[in-house]
Chains A and B, each alone.
Chain A
């Protein structure tokens, strides 16, 4: 993992002291709320419905066991015993007191954590494939480049007041688990004809009220030019992006209005001026950062572990969990283990202090002390020996963390919604809970197969509803919660936006509507066909007919 150097340490420590002074001046009256609000937001501190909310950065979703234990400690000492993992791979605490926040940040700094770049119109915390460094389908570890971007973007003076927030995602694998086509900039690692690794550069993706799939403006960017090319994109955006209208300020609007081809031309022209300047990445610097992400000391193992295979044959519960929650590891004899934060009827993404501590322990014992956070609001133990998997499963089960539903219907993304969020129009979490309870029988879910449901409580789309196979958007109709359903979205390498199926459903009716959609899919699907494939073949009509037949 990356370790802070003296610059990082100084920067974070100084920031904590600055914020301590700012909070003191706010409480003494030297700073008004108008003056203080942008300062607290620069430190990840929001005011939500019931209390302040502190968003802590987890750069590219990588955590150590020591850091996870610290999050548990913060949850217990300063909050109400839990944290919420978000679709940006971050963690949020829902109940901190203003006067405590400097202490929280100081404690976080002791484990190299902070809340910088979690708010404001800057380049936000970089996200990446949660299987980075472990995935069998990976060209190179995307965290190396995510960390380089992190160092370049943190407090970048030219890009601290962009027209709007700016999100960058990186994946090193062909199977996109980082939703790179739905970010302001997405970087997809590719090989050129010579076999060299570089990046496909995608710009102008995003969700919110104007969902757009990003457009490729460069099919191959050599690694050494990564920062100069990003700088060129940001310069074009910073200069031409709209500042007159909050809803038209994201880069996706600029790219759409300019046209991707013309936008690419502007970027290339800017890049030509700076590509051989100070931002070119020398080989030794790449190697230095790469060394931080060196693989752990794997044991040489056989690809097949007999006791693991035997356990799968003997125990159908274990076999089911393996089928959904394990992913292929690049190292023979190892597996990537997903830990679902979506127990049946639970709050998606919430973890109690006890659960965090248990997982920190499992990570130390079974996964070289490493944990990952996924944008689908689950956690990952990235490097587990296959022969340890049965013991880990038993331990997870005892801690209530062995739900076998990764990628299934109840593995629902849900934003905090109207239960917590100041921007929400409707609740999202209880809709997720009711769907998960309705389909609570895991055997039924395994029979249905992979199905992605994503729920947002407002048009800002933190719950990624546009890219759910079944997307649910909460709206307010005369003070009542209604839910608009879209079908056919996807966040992966086949990124697609869902289509609205028809009039919205009431809070009481939305779960029945989801069940009707699922039943219709089961009726029409051919053997082995996923939800979006069936939908592409039969169209929306059969679903509409079933949903609105009684109306």
Chain B
């Protein structure tokens, strides 16, 4: 069983977002609802498809993550970069948000 979350891009600005346990969309991976149960993952994707119809997000998909010592991280390099912003411009994207610089310094 692979631990997965649902991610998508927000319709209005294309920002990377994650589906939370409350059915909302968060820009932060750690706030996503993660599940290693395939039936549960399918349910999460169904909820996400409703958000597509509701014009909140586009192109949702399941994406594998790991959890080590309480820290959740994306597995692939692509998803690590989506979660933080361009590695060549640390002043842009999520990594540039106040209070977040430290957390992303070690990544990638």
Same assembly? yes
Chain A residues at the B interface, C-beta cutoff of 8 Å: 26-27, 29, 33, 47-52, 80, 95, 97-99, 347, 418-420, 424, 426-427, 429-430, 433, 476, 479-481
Q: Which of B1-39 contact A (CB under 8 A)?
A: 9, 11-16
Chain B residues at the A interface, C-beta cutoff of 8 Å: 9, 11-16, 52, 55, 58-59, 75-78, 81-82, 85-89, 92-93
Q: Which 6 pairs show the lowest CB-CB distances between chains A and B?
A: A419-B86, A51-B14, A52-B14, A97-B13, A429-B88, A479-B76
Q: Nearest Cβ distance between residue A83 and chain B, in whole angstroms?
A: 13
Bound Cα distance A424, B78 (Å): 8
Q: Nearest Cβ distance between residue B76 and chain A, in whole angstroms?
A: 5
> B77 near A480 (CB under 8 angstroms)?
yes
* List of A residues within 8 angstroms of B81 by Cβ: 49, 418-419, 427
Of A50, A424, A433, A476, the residue contacting B16 (CB under 8 A) is A50
Bound Cα distance A433, B13 (Å): 28
Given A419-B81, A426-B77; 7 other pairs, CB 8 A cutoff: A50-B15, A50-B82, A98-B13, A419-B88, A427-B81, A476-B76, A479-B77
* List of B residues within 8 angstroms of A426 by Cβ: 77
Bound Cα distance A50, B52 (Å): 18
Of A49, A51, A80, the residue contacting B78 (CB under 8 A) is A49
Q: Nearest Cβ distance between residue A5 and chain B, in whole angstroms?
A: 36
* List of A residues within 8 angstroms of B55 by Cβ: 26-27, 29
Bound Cα distance A51, B85 (Å): 10
Q: Nearest Cβ distance between residue A24 and chain B, in whole angstroms?
A: 12
Q: Which residue of B lies closest to A99 (CB)?
A: B12
Bound Cα distance A424, B81 (Å): 12
Q: Which residue of B lies closest to A46 (CB)?
A: B14
* List of A residues within 8 angstroms of B89 by Cβ: 347, 419
Bound Cα distance A48, B14 (Å): 8
> B77 near A481 (CB under 8 angstroms)?
yes
Bound Cα distance A138, B36 (Å): 64
Of B9, B12, B13, B77, the residue contacting A476 (CB under 8 A) is B77
Of A52, A418, A420, the residue contacting B13 (CB under 8 A) is A52
Q: Which residue of B lies closest to A347 (CB)?
A: B88
